[in-house]
Structure 1
Amino acid sequence: MSGFQVEPGSLRTSAEGLDDVVDRFAETLERFEQTITAFGQPWGSDDLGSIIGELYLGIHDLAMSCFESNGELLGEFAHGLHTMADSFEAAETEIADRMAQLQNLLGGG
């Protein structure tokens, strides 16, 4: 694989940016939920209002579940980027240490 280069710092920067997006998304979703809840049940309590309310609640719950799942998935991606950065950094450190050991064994240290 010619030209392949990974910068752990860049991975960490991307992970931190994604962490920030996840946090802002969660805050925005919470504010949205508070705003929607503040409206109460404007459809009323008669037969038609009850049907509309049931439909609304089902759709609302499904939408919120999707939003929350997407936020969790983005959080998992951020965690993966952090893990990748740690892994690449550990590999680079191990390679440097082994090269130093080899240099010492060959009498170049």
Structure 2
Amino acid sequence: MAGGSTGASDRAGGGFVLKPWELHGEGREFEKLGGELTKAVAALERDLAALGTPWGTDAPGSGFAAVYGPAHGELVGGLRGLAGQVGKVGTGLHTMAERTTDTDTSAAGGFGAAVEGGTGVGPGPSAVSAVYSTTGATPGAAPAVPTDMSV
């Protein structure tokens, strides 16, 4: 999310900033959008059901019904699934924010320092932004630690 609403990118250094409070805000927005989409899908289903079967039972109407029935089910099912996934993005952003805060708090405690403006215990509004490097990093791999710390 470099350069996005979660903070500025440090393009020269290859890092980015995560602000947990902004991740929570974006999470709430995705949850809200998922809820609105769920309501819109329900309204669409009601409106289509209210139409009944106006195409009739003659040859053209039967042909239309044969195509419309499965397509209608797939469309509504896909829209329901999409609404659920949009809401899950919000949940994921909340989880990311909480884990970022927990990691920062734990790291600060490991160095014997309190989190800026707070006690260094638990997530909360006093948490600082996390800065992560993206240069030369392999996901899941431990970074190389120099043995000569005078560098």
TM-score normalised according to structure 1 size:
0.82
By how many angstroms is 1:7 displaced? 0.4
For residues 57-76 of structure 1, what are the structure 2 equivalents within 5 Å?
57-76=69-88
Output the amino acid matched with 2:73: D
Equivalent in the alignment of 2:104: 92
Distance 1:16 1:53 in 2: 40
Query: Is 1:14 paired with 2:26?
Result: yes
Question: Greater strand percent: which structure?
Answer: 2
CA contact (8 A) 2:28 2:90 kept: yes
Moved more, 35-44 or 91-100: 91-100
- What is the DSSP-based 3-state SS (H/G/I as helix, E as strand, rest coil) of the residue aligned with 1:21? helix
By how many angstroms is 1:65 displaced? 2.0
Identity across aligned pairs (percent)? 24
Higher normalized contact order (CA 8 Å, seq sep 6+, divided by chain length): 1
- Write the deviation string for residues 50-71 of structure 1: whole angstroms up to 9, x where unpaired: 2221211111112112212222
TM-score normalised according to structure 2 size:
0.61
Runs of 4+ in 1 over 4 A off after TM superposition: none
- What is the DSSP-based 3-state SS (H/G/I as helix, E as strand, rest coil) of the residue aligned with 1:42? coil
By how many angstroms is 1:80 displaced? 1.4
Equivalent in the alignment of 2:64: 52
Distance 1:78 1:42 in 2: 40
Query: Is 1:78 paired with 2:90?
Result: yes
Gaps spanning 5+ residues in structure 1: where? 102-109
